[in-house]
Amino acid sequence: MTASTPSPGWKVLTAMLVVLVLWASAFIAIRFVGDALSPGPLALGRQLVGTAALVAVALVRRPPLPRGRSLALVALYGVLWFAGYTLVLNLAERHLDAGTAAMLVNVAPLIVAVAAGVFLKEGFPRSLVVGMLVAFAGVVLIATGGVGNHADPLGVVLGLLAALLYALGVLVQKVALRDTDALSATWVGCAIGAAALLPFLPQTVVEVGAAPAPAVWAMVYLGVFPSAVAFLLWAYVLKRSPAGVTASATLAVPAIVVLLGWLLLGELPTVLGMVGGALCLIGVAWSRRPSRPARR
């Protein structure tokens, strides 16, 4: 008789809920900024604020710094996730409503599973293949019939590129965290992401100086809460609950984004777009089903 996995406590569940809401709110905040800040300056400003907040926490906790190969992996993770994903997502949300962007980005777990099957030799179980086909049908539906007043086909391409960068960042992060403290990996990765975005610094200074106060505060919010606070809480949750269950919980983010987008921005994906997004999420969820054990 095997012992059952203990259920997470209320603190873990509360932290997970906060993470989901904060990550969902990032899609709304990016749309809220609109044309006040260009995608590059918004990405750089967010990472600079996030780095400052994370460094403040690191100065108190003083975790060990990554070195050698671990540092190289953290640097790659920072460029892929904090710089690349953030920048491309900002670009995508110039062409997509927040809900559609969130649904496309959440194809990332499926990309991770495919990459693990190819590069980590984990294979392609039936659940993964079925999930891929269902999610692909959803993407096709969004691209062909789910583009409404707040979206266009270029946004779909950018949304999928953001999902790819997100997935690559997760894969590199998984390897980096084998030998690196989670807080160090987060703040160093965020700082390297900010450094990679420094070519936008002159434009950022000009645009932030001319932007309305609500847009600047939205940028600060993105750096402090969806970046710094959410990533620290994410590490707290991962340490205390099964990784698969925790990762699956992020599938709730698009639903929260659609609700917030409707309430705060007056945006809703088209009916076909929502059906396509639902297929994407169903495909991802199906792909994460465990394979049946072989019969004796």
pLDDT in tens, 109-140: 777 777 766 766 656 677 767 777 777 777 77
Distances (CA, A) of 183 to 84, 166, 235, 256: 20, 19, 8, 27
What tokens appear for 103 in the block?
A: 């649904």
- 20, 250 Cβ separation under 8 angstroms: yes
More confident residue, 246 or 96: 96
227-278, pLDDT tens digit by residue?
899 888 877 776 666 555 556 667 778 878 888 888 888 877 777 777 877 8
pLDDT at 239: 65
pLDDT at 20: 86
pLDDT of 214 above 80:
yes
Q: Which amino acid is at 237?
A: V
52-78, pLDDT tens digit by residue?
999 999 999 888 888 888 899 999 989
| CA dist., res. 215 & res. 33, Å (int) | 5
Q: Please provide the average confidence, as pLDDT, over all residues in the chain.
A: 82
| CA dist., res. 14 & res. 233, Å (int) | 10
| CA dist., res. 288 & res. 296, Å (int) | 24
